[in-house]
């Protein structure tokens, strides 16, 4: 595999035994774009245990009458939420029964597209990703919660999909704004050590990151491997990743892309290395 244009390290969380969808797509296109792709997640995703999943379903049943007329907004707080829902058949069925009342919100456009695909596959509801409420700034919790609050209808119920270990900021903010909210924590992530990066000829490394909270752990993993940070470029669709970098690695180079889509990432790198004259 050629690494003429550098090495891409995909740090996005993955389910056990799986590569991230973005990482797998990048790997398939690597030779065409003359890059080496390294899968190096720093988080592993898992479903919560049976008791926690039953608790989520029970709370939904207790809070929401199937025959009620008010809308139900499903809020996807992380890029991993759609994949987690796809693995939770009982919740998919519960949402199917509420199809006509469902609205959707997501933390960024990539998550919105993913959730529309999952809802189609699981026969929950058919809609386009552009119909999902998303913040203008990808990853902005404030913008997302403001948007949901502004579009709230009478007696509306929000179902916030959040990982077990999260602080519940979206849930707490919406409750603070006066909304009826159920925090639905049915998946979790646990930290894993960054994989050792392979020896390479080209010492330029592109770190693909989808969440600002991951930046310190990635930086520690690189430091452990004696990485020269001047050779590292951080790539994300979230400005918050750049802000996090400024705090801990102020001289680091941050490259923003419109979305974390394989072709967008690879074209950005290609044009960065060989800009059109």
CATH class of the domain comprising 7-42+192-273: alpha beta
> Is the fold of 7-42+192-273 the same as that of 47-189?
yes
206 burial class (0-12, 13-18, 19+ CB within 10 angstroms)?
buried
| pLDDT confidence of residue 274 | 65
pTM of the model: 0.87
Q: From first to last of the 277 residues of the chain, give the pLDDT tens digit.
A: 567 889 999 999 999 878 888 999 999 999 999 999 999 999 999 999 999 999 999 999 999 999 899 999 999 999 999 999 999 999 999 999 999 999 999 999 999 999 999 999 999 999 888 889 999 999 999 999 999 999 988 889 999 999 999 999 999 999 999 999 999 999 999 999 998 999 988 899 999 999 999 999 999 999 999 999 999 999 999 999 999 999 999 999 999 999 899 999 999 998 887 664 4
Span 47-189 CATH architecture: 3-Layer(aba) Sandwich (3.40)
Domain boundaries, the chain: 7-42+192-273, 47-189
Token pair 């770190």 is at which residue?
A: 207
Task: Output phi, psi for 42, to 5 deg.
Answer: -110, 0
Residue 248: alpha-carbon gap to chain centroid: 22
């Amino acid at each position: 595999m050629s690494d003429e244009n550098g090495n891409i390290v995909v740090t996005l969380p993955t389910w056990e035994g799986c590569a991230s969808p973005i990482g797998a797509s990048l790997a398939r296109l690597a030779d065409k774009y003359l890059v080496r792709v390294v899968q190096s997640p720093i988080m592993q995703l898992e479903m919560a245990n049976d008791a926690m999943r039953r608790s989520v379903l029970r709370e939904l049943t207790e809070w929401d009458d199937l025959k009620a007329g008010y809308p139900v907004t499903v809020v996807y707080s992380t890029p991993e939420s759609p994949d987690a829902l796809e693995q939770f058949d009982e919740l998919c069925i519960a949402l199917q029964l509420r199809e006509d009342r469902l609205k959707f919100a997501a933390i960024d456009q990539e998550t919105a597209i993913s959730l529309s695909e999952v809802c189609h596959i699981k026969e929950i509801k058919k809609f386009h990703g552009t119909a999902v409420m998303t913040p203008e700034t990808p990853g902005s919790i404030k913008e997302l919660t403001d948007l949901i609050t502004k579009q709230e209808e009478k007696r509306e119920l929000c179902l916030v999909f959040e990982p077990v270990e999260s602080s519940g900021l979206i849930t707490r903010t919406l409750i603070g704004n006066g909304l009826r909210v159920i925090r639905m924590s049915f998946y979790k992530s646990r930290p894993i050590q960054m994989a050792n990066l392979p020896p390479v000829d080209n010492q330029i490394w592109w770190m693909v990151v989808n969440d600002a909270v991951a930046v310190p752990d990635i930086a520690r993993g690189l430091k452990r491997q004696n990485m020269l940070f001047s050779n590292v470029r951080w790539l994300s669709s979230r400005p918050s990743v750049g802000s996090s970098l400024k705090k801990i690695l102020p001289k680091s180079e941050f490259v923003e892309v419109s979305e974390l889509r394989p072709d967008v990432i690879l074209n950005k790198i290609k044009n960065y290395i060989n800009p059109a004259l």
